[in-house]
């Protein structure tokens, strides 16, 4: 059995909530995002060339041999 | 995203050294106050805190406004920055009466190419990434 007072109260709460929360709008996007997505999908996978790895290894080796350089490099970074 | 490309270039340029600054500050604080190294690092901390990030930002602005249209590599341009920063750093240290440890100057001929290589890699990959993300790559 429904309680009429409770129903009224629920209806009041429902109405108050409806007024407090405006309906969600779905505005149109300014532009189509799909071409950007396609462009990104078509990009070749990120690859680091071997000479960059070689440079990094050379630098790491040089810093291991001359650790006194590390603070000087940190100062300039 | 086609507004203010130079402002975006500046922001992309300062992003890397600004993030790295936290590491620099931790290392310097540790060295100075925990390891008690008798070097007044706080005198010259202004250089990595203020000069370096701003110069990175301006260098990237220079790249976007002039060199990117001439198809000059970002990594290559970044590698040239230590040629400007190194003498500036030494000058700042000199003016602020910072005693440069004696073992550093003889290592400069090795340190400069190492710095240039590190800058080449940082600019090619890190600044290049930020430039691409901000639509100015």
Question: Closest chain B residue to A52 measured between Cα atoms?
Answer: B121
pTM: 0.74
Give the three-class secondary structure for B136: coil
Considering CB atoms only, which of A55, A56, A75 is closest to B89? A75
DSSP B99-132: ---TTSGGGHHHHHHHHHHHHHHIIIIIIHHHHH
ipTM beyond cut 0.90 = no
Residue ranges per structural domain of chain B: 5-133
Cβ atoms of B17 and B56 closer than 8 Å: yes
* Percentage of chain A exceeding pLDDT 70: 95
**CA-to-CA separations, B114 to A69, A74, B21, B92, in angstroms, rounded:** 9, 12, 19, 21
Q: Check CB contact of A75 with chain B, cutoff 8 Å.
A: yes
Would you place residue B1 in the very low, low, confident or very high pLDDT band (cuts 50, 70, 90)? low
């Amino acid at each position: 059995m429904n309680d009429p007072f409770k129903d009224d109260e629920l209806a009041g709460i429902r109405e108050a909530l409806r007024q407090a929360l405006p309906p969600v709008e779905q505005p149109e996007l300014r532009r189509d995002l799909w071409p950007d997505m396609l462009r990104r999908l078509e990009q070749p996978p990120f690859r680091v060339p071997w000479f960059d790895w070689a440079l990094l290894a050379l630098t790491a080796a040089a810093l291991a041999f001359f650790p006194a350089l590390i603070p000087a490099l940190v100062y300039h970074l | 995203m086609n507004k203010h490309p130079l402002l975006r270039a500046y922001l992309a340029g300062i992003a890397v050294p600004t993030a790295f600054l936290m590491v620099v500050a931790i290392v310097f604080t540790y060295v100075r106050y925990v390891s008690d190294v008798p070097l007044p690092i706080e005198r010259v901390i202004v250089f990595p805190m203020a000069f370096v990030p701003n110069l990175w930002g301006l260098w990237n602005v220079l790249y976007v406004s002039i060199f990117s249209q001439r198809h000059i590599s970002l990594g290559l341009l970044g590698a040239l920055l230590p040629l400007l920063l190194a003498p500036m750093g030494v000058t700042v240290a000199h003016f602020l009466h910072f005693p440069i440890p004696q073992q550093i100057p003889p290592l400069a001929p090795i340190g400069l190419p190492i710095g240039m290589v590190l800058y080449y890699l940082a600019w090619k990959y890190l600044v290049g990434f930020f430039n691409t993300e901000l639509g100015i790559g």
